[in-house]
Amino acid sequence: MKYEVLFDASDLRLLRALQRDASASQAELADAVGISPSLVSRRLARLRESGVLRATVGLVDPAKVGLTCAAIIRVRLRDHSAANVKSFRDVVARMAEATFCVMLTGEADYLVKIVARDLPHFQEIVQSKLLRCAAIAHMESSIVLEYLKDTTELPLSD
């Protein structure tokens, strides 16, 4: 079911507060937004029901859980037939190591972010999963050396 959600300044303040700290209590959110906790509860329910608020998650530091290697892979498919696209998408959907994948315009068809324990683990992932995908014509990998910005926070303004 599709909803049209109308936002007011309080909705946007609530969404910004949630993006900064989704573990905040409703009372803390109410203080941050300037509305009552019961109104926070109703607004959260509406935002979830409408699909605006997709999930409430904890962000895990990859390095602190042993995932010290990240890579960005540009993928070009052999062709764009429905079967080929589905084959590639199925491979990526099954890969826990693939944390981000988007379809692109330009030379590459897809951009995939892979996280791994280390470089040998990354090589194993590529060889055992991606290189076995017949849908892929070409891949080009870049190892992430440093994160200059890595956020899930959207630029919401009043």
- At 4-34, the pLDDT tens digits run 667 899 999 999 999 999 999 999 999 999 9
Percent of the chain's residues with pLDDT above 90: 94
CATH, domain 1-59, list 2.30.40.10, 1.10.10.10, 1.20.1300.10, 3.40.50.620: 1.10.10.10
Q: Give the CATH class of 62-143.
A: alpha beta
Residues of each domain in the chain carrying CATH 3.30.70.920:
62-143
Query: Any long-range contacts for 93-100 (C-beta under 8 Å, 24+ apart)?
Result: 95/125, 95/129, 97/125, 97/129
Q: Which two tokens stand for residue 107?
A: 């030379």
pTM: 0.87
